[in-house]
Structure 1
Amino acid sequence: MVIADIPSWRNERLATMVRCALWLVAEVGVGEVFTKTQLREAFPETSQIDRRMRDLRDRGWRIATNRDDATLSPSEHRFVEMGAEVWKPGQSRVKQAAAVSAPQRREILDRDDHLCRVCGITAGEPYEGGIETAQLDLARREVVKPGGVVVELVTECRRCRIGGRGRQTDVTGVLGHVGQMSRMERELFTQWVAADRRDFSLLERLWGQYRSLPAESRETVRQALERA
């Protein structure tokens, strides 16, 4: 993606967040990987450059970490998608979402059985293969319905909420897939719907653990499977 006539990211008269956005566009490029070291070397005079980069996420920029993309190392980021053109007047402001009241928050958490609607984890439960525990919060999700797109509040854990920014769900699409299921698939899916949760099998949990391994360790697993 090439954007013409953008300011130089080296212009120190611009706000640091704006310069960071311009650096991502000009020096990294959408879809490419960069390291924390490269970012800090580009802005050696700014001690909070990591925070300025994170501020871009509130303006629609998608910057993945190894929590979002298992192929990344802890020191790497991927520039996934550009958001608002923050170097233009008025584009750097965050659009404030309507505040959620305490009663509304409790109602949504109760409705969702205090479970993350993406992975099914509960508050305080440790994630598979680690000591980090889940924290539940509310997230706004765009839902495509026959009458148009609506925004709904759902319960999600912090890990899924960060990784799922910008996610859009399609009710019509889900119904279409249901209609294409085999009888066995429909019976299994019906059980999940009735329980309003899905328990992952050992094989699925093992796949998640495998995907979180670094490249060298994944190769070791592949070799072990070939020998078996």
Structure 2
Amino acid sequence: MKRVALWLISEVGEGNEFTKEQMRAAFPGVSQIDRRMRDLRSFGWRIDTNREDPRLTSAQQRFVTRGQPVWEKGMASRPASAPAIGAVRRREVISGDSNMCRSCGITPGQLYAGTFEGAQLDIARREVRLPGGASDVQLITECNRCRVGAKDLTADLSAVIDRAGALSSDDRELLAGWMDADERPFSPVERVWAEYRALPADARAALREFLGLA
């Protein structure tokens, strides 16, 4: 693991891509070199695959940032880390999240808008700020794209509870219906509004001109 860390720094460089074949060629005869590289993540090293960065192919990985200097004396002791998520637990989480990305709502294999890329779901760990100030790390289902943008996101449950408590009785009833269905139906005008917000500036101006608002 120490040798892999030094190889990443000296030969690959932060921000650059490499392949498993290049790494194996650099360490001929070393068994489980892939696992040694993955162990670095427990020491704060960020090494992305196409699960974290859809721009990478299945054969590519990217050395994003270095973590602890594991080659220094006393630095390679394994820190306390979250246990691996087993296959059974993974299925439970995805099923409990209605088999969809909780950030964008996409389902497995569904194509991202305007592309031929199908979504893949995975499990992310999300820090949740609880009432009273404590924090908890909980599991959530996200697609590859949303995981990239939400790595450092913290969910503030306390703030959400406060806002829910401030709703009127009618709004609470409406919210309860959405929660029971795990879906919010959007009206045609709301869908157009969401699509308008996602358009580039020139396209937004064209829509405003079409509606006589320019």
TM-score, scaled to structure 1: 0.56
Q: 2:155 corresponds to which residue?
A: 169
Matched, 1:192 2:142: no
Alignment of structure 1 residues 1-228 onto 2, 5 Å: 17-18=13-14, 49=16, 86=66, 89=69, 97-146=82-131, 148-227=134-213
Q: Which protein is bigger by CA-based radius of gyration?
A: 2
Is this contact kept in 2: 1:139–1:153, CA < 8 A? yes
Letter in 1 for 2:191: R
Q: 1:153 to 1:88 in 2, by over 3 A?
A: closer
Identity score, percent: 40
Q: 2:61 corresponds to which residue?
A: none
Deviation at 1:109, TM superposition (A): 1.6
2:109 and 2:67 mapped to 1: Cα distance? Answer: 40
1:87 and 1:152 mapped to 2: Cα distance? Answer: 23
Letter in 1 for 2:157: V
2:123 and 2:169 mapped to 1: Cα distance? Answer: 35
Deviation at 1:102, TM superposition (A): 0.9
Q: How many residues align?
A: 162
Question: Structure 1 residues 154-163 or 173-182, which shifts more?
Answer: 154-163
Is this contact kept in 2: 1:139–1:154, CA < 8 A? yes
Question: Structure 1 residues 104-113 or 118-127, which shifts more?
Answer: 118-127
Deviation at 1:98, TM superposition (A): 2.9
Cα-to-partner distance string for 1:129-154 (whole Å, 9 max, x where unaligned):
54433221111100111361111111
TM-score, scaled to structure 2: 0.59
Deviation at 1:121, TM superposition (A): 2.4
Letter in 1 for 2:203: S
1:160 and 1:119 mapped to 2: Cα distance? Answer: 7
Q: 1:202 to 1:157 in 2, by over 3 A?
A: farther
Structure 2 unaligned segments of length 5 or more: list them.
1-8, 19-43, 47-52, 54-63, 71-75
2:126 and 2:146 mapped to 1: Cα distance? Answer: 12
Q: 1:42 corresponds to which residue?
A: none
2:88 and 2:194 mapped to 1: Cα distance? Answer: 36
Is this contact kept in 2: 1:144–1:171, CA < 8 A? yes
Q: SS of the counterpart of 1:181?
A: coil
Q: 1:39 corresponds to which residue?
A: none
Q: 1:14 to 1:130 in 2, by over 3 A?
A: closer
Q: SS of the counterpart of 1:153?
A: strand
Is this contact kept in 2: 1:141–1:151, CA < 8 A? yes
Deviation at 1:168, TM superposition (A): 0.8
Is this contact kept in 1: 2:126–2:140, CA < 8 A? yes
Q: SS of the counterpart of 2:89?
A: helix
1:104 and 1:130 mapped to 2: Cα distance? Answer: 31
